[in-house]
Amino acid sequence: MLANYASTSKGKQPDKILDLCCGNGIIPVLLTAKTEAHHIVGVEIQSDVADLAQRNVELNGLQRRVEIICDDLKNCGEILSANSFDIVTCNPPYKEAGGGLVNEADALTIARHEVKCTLSDIISVSAKLLREGGRLCMVHRPERLVDLLTLMRQNRLEPKRLRMVHPKPGKTANLVLIEAAKYGKPKLFLDPPLYVYNENGEYSDEINEIYERQG
């Protein structure tokens, strides 16, 4: 959903894309098919997960377009050029640090909790690396929406699009897709809700389209 959302950005056709917290590299790989970007960078702090992302890039023959960097995203301001990316994407850890974490070195804990980075870190780094007019596209939990909007504006990233994702019609949204533009003018557009399943419990037509499951 995030790769599809980023590919439908209203900005110019992207040439350089950065994916923070890239995990196994699925977003960079998908964006090679959904955009014409020549250079897509994925940043992942966990070395074993970054190795998996690199293998996925190589298995798909995408070494010329996709670069995987194993590093702390907070270092991106030093290792990558400022004001140079057209789009930054991020599927971040959703849960704030604390709240009964068992093992802060555990891979799933790092992926799900703000142990190695915070939402503030992600948004401030994105603001530094995006060109003027560049877009930050994120997926997060609706309960963090106020934090998202506040931090974006504090970092001169103006929220431009927002879409709620619901498990099915009649159910409360459990994800939110949001896009912000660097130095954008204030005006937020609400997209129609996205339903993952229809009333019969089957994947919705739009989800099948996003995942290219037609036929």
DSSP string, 23-88: TTSHHHHHHHHHS--SEEEEEES-HHHHHHHHHHHHHTT-TTTEEEEES-GGGHHHHS-TT-EEEE
- CATH topology for 2-210? Rossmann fold (3.40.50)
Q: List the chain domain ranges.
A: 2-210
Q: What is the pLDDT averaged over residues 113-138?
A: 90
pLDDT at 38 (0 to 100) = 97
In which band, very low, low, confident or very high, does the pLDDT at 110 lie, cut at 50, 70 and 90?
very low
**How many other CB atoms are found less than 10 A from the CB of residue 162?**
17
Q: How many angstroms separate the CA atoms of 198 and 29, rounded?
A: 28
Nearest to 87 by CA among 131, 121, 118: 131
pLDDT at 108 (0 to 100) = 55
What is the Cα Rg of the chain in Å? 17
State what percent of residues in the chain have pLDDT above 90.
84
Q: Is the pLDDT of residue 107 over 60?
A: no
The residue written with tokens 């190695």 in the block is 116
- Encode pLDDT of 12-51 as tens digits: 789 999 999 999 999 999 999 999 999 999 999 999 999 9
Q: How many angstroms separate the CA atoms of 101 and 59, rounded?
A: 35
Q: How many angstroms separate the CA atoms of 179 and 23, rounded?
A: 20
